[in-house]
C-alpha cells in the first residue's frame, strides 16, 4: 500500500530531513512512526499525501508514484487518504457538520447521503450533540474527534495522523486510539506519527523509530509473538 525507496528529502542545502529512507507498509497495517522532535515524522507523512516531493528516491502510495505526480493529480490521490493534522486545521467559521461534510462534498456526494453519513460518524465519535457548534466552542478532545471524523467519513484506504493525542488527557487518548483501531479493523491502513510512548505501548502495533532523518529501529509485535511461539 505504501512504499518508500531510498528517499532523501532536504528542505535546504546541507539540511537533510530524511536520509535514505526505505519502508514498506502493507495494506491493512497499523504503524506508529516515532522519534524525537525534528526526527522527520511530519516530513514523512507529508510525502505520503503529496504535500512534498522527495529530493530523490521514490514514494509509492496505493499503486501510484507520488514522486512523479503533477500538482493536478494530487487531489485524486488525496481522495483515498484521510489526514489528521497536528493542529487539526478545522474551519473556524464553519459548524462541526460543515467541517466533516466537506470531505464528501469534494467527492460529489448528494446532500441527503452527506447528511446521513456525517451524522452517523459524529454519533460514532460521540460528538453528534455538537453538530451545530463551531470549533471554538469545543474542547481539544472534541476538536480532535471532529478532525478524525472529517478524515474518516469516506472510509479512506489510508489514514495519516500527525501527533493526534498531543494535549489530550488519558481518557481522550484511549478514545482516539480505539477510533484508529476500529478504522483499521474496517480495512483502513493507519499510519500515526507520535511521541506518545504510552499510546504506542498500549496498542501493540508495528513501530518505526526515526532519529534525525534515519530509521533507527523497527519493532513488529506480530513478528516478536511468532518468534516467541516458534
Ligand atoms: N518547512 C521547513 N523548512 C525547513 N526545514 C524544515 C521544514 N519543516 C521541517 N524542517 C526541518 O526538517 C527536520 C524534520 O522536521 P519534521 O517536522 O519532519 O520533524 P518531526 O519528527 O515531525 O518533529 P516534531 O515531532 O517536532 O513535529 C527538522 O530538522 C526541521 O527543522
- Local confidence pLDDT in tens for the 230 residues of the chain: 999 999 999 998 888 999 999 999 999 999 999 999 999 999 999 999 999 999 999 999 998 999 889 999 998 899 999 999 988 899 999 999 999 999 999 999 999 999 999 999 999 888 999 999 999 999 988 999 999 999 999 999 999 999 998 878 888 888 888 899 999 999 999 999 999 888 898 888 999 999 999 999 889 887 766 555 44
* Ligand 1 and 209: CB distance under 6 A: no
Q: How many helices (H) and strands (E) does the chain have?
A: 8, 10
The Cα 211–Cα 217 span in angstroms is 9
Does the interface ipTM go beyond 0.85? yes
Q: Does residue 162's CB lie within 6 angstroms of at least one atom of ligand 1?
A: no
- In the reported structure, the alpha carbon of residue 126 is separated from the centroid of ligand 1 by a whole-number distance in angstroms of 33
Indicate the top mutation candidate among 9, 12, 17, 200 to test ligand 1's pocket, ranked by most ligand atoms within 8 A of CB.
17
Going from N- to C-terminal start, the domains of the chain cover 91-155
For residues 205 and 207, give the distance between their C-alpha atoms in angstroms, rounded to a whole number: 6
- Ligand 1, closest atom to CA 193? 22
- The Cα 159–Cα 103 span in angstroms is 14
CB distance 41 to ligand 1 below 6 Å: yes
Name the burial class of residue 226, with classes exposed (0-12), middle (13-18) and buried (19+) by CB atoms within 10 angstroms of its CB. exposed
Does any ligand 1 atom lie closer than 6 A to the CB of residue 39?
yes
Do residues 96 and 132 lie in contact, with contact meaning Cβ atoms separated by under 8 Å? yes
pTM summary value: 0.92
Amino acid at each position: 500500500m505504501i512504499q518508500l525507496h531510498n528517499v532523501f528529502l532536504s528542505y535546504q542545502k546541507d539540511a537533510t530531513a530524511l536520509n535514505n529512507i526505505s519502508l514498506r507498509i502493507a495494506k491493512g497495517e497499523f504503524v506508529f512512526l516515532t522519534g524525537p522532535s525534528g526526527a522527520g515524522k511530519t516530513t514523512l507523512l507529508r510525502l505520503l499525501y503529496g504535500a512534498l516531493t522527495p529530493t530523490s528516491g521514490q514514494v509509492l502510495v496505493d499503486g501510484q508514484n507520488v514522486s512523479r505526480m503533477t500538482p493536478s493529480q494530487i487531489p485524486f490521490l488525496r481522495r483515498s487518504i484521510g489526514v489528521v493534522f497536528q493542529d487539526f486545521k478545522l474551519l473556524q467559521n464553519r459548524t462541526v457538520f460543515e467541517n466533516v461534510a466537506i470531505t464528501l462534498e469534494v467527492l460529489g456526494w448528494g446532500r441527503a447521503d452527506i447528511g446521513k453519513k456525517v451524522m452517523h460518524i459524529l454519533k460514532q465519535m460521540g460528538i453528534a450533540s455538537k453538530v451545530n457548534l463551531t470549533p471554538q466552542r469545543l474542547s481539544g478532545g472534541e476538536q480532535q474527534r471532529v478532525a478524525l471524523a472529517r478524515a474518516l467519513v469516506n472510509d479512506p484506504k489510508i489514514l495519516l495522523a500527525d501527533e493526534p493525542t498531543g494535549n489530550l488527557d488519558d481518557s481522550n487518548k484511549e478514545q482516539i486510539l480505539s477510533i484508529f483501531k476500529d478504522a483499521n479493523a474496517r480495512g483502513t491502513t493507519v499510519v500515526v506519527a507520535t511521541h506518545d510512548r504510552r499510546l504506542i505501548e498500549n496498542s501493540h502495533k508495528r513501530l518505526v523509530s526515526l532519529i534525525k532523518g534515519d530509521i533507527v529501529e523497527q519493532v513488529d509485535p506480530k513478528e516478536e509473538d511468532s518468534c516467541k511461539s516458534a
